[in-house]
Copies of this chain bind each other. A is one copy, B any other.
Amino acid sequence: MSEEPPLDRVQLGAYFALMEVAGLLRHAVEQQLREAGGLSYVQFQLLARLGLDSPTGSGRMTDLADGVVYSRSGLTYQAGLLEQAGLVVRAPSPDDERGVTVTITGAGRAVLDRVLPGHVAVLRELFLEPLSRPDVEALAGLLEPVRDHMRAAPPRSAAPRRRRAGA
């Protein structure tokens, strides 16, 4: 933990390119989402998880948090906005009364459908356009293991092992 040799040009290149690509992409996507549906990126992700990934359209708060938000209160805040807008409903979880189950509404699905085509268009124009099919496959193949590694990694300040939503 004492010496730390600097990174070489290629490593730095990968790092900076990653961060800048993701930053620019997120910026563009946020703008599209806001214009098309008044959604923040986090709100979109929550709606997408409920409406696209979940067969029931529901999910528990804690499970929704993964990778979307870094604090419990942040999730409560965003879910609250979605609920105010009528895009989502919250109810106590049937099995565990402590939990809250979030469910996408019809209006939520409508907004999701309205926003999705433009979202995809931005991704194609900005992100996918310069990549060949094998490029995209390679990229996914490289980044997915990194994501899994990061998810598994303990939050490097020797804090309690539970990461999920909140320290």
Contacts and interface: CB of A to CB of B under 8 A. Distances in A.
Interface string A22-35: 11111110011001
A11 B150 contact: no
Interface string A106-143: 00000000001110111111111111000111111011
A158 interface: no
Given A19-B22, A140-B17, A131 B146 contact: yes
Contacts of A138: 138, 142
B140 A10 contact: yes
Contact of A67 (B11, B20, B26): B20
B143 A14 contact: yes
A84 interface: no
A144 to B, nearest CB: 5
Interface size class of A (residues with CB under 8 A): 35 or more
13 contacts: A7-B123, A11-B136, A13-B144, A14-B136, A14-B137, A18-B127, A22-B26, A31-B157, A32-B156, A127-B146, A130-B149, A131-B145, A139-B143
Given A22-B22, A156-B125, A146 B17 contact: yes
Contact of A126 (B5, B25, B121, B149): B149
Contacts of A23: 22, 67
Contacts of A15: 123, 127
A26 B19 contact: yes
Nearest to A139: B14
Contacts of A91: none
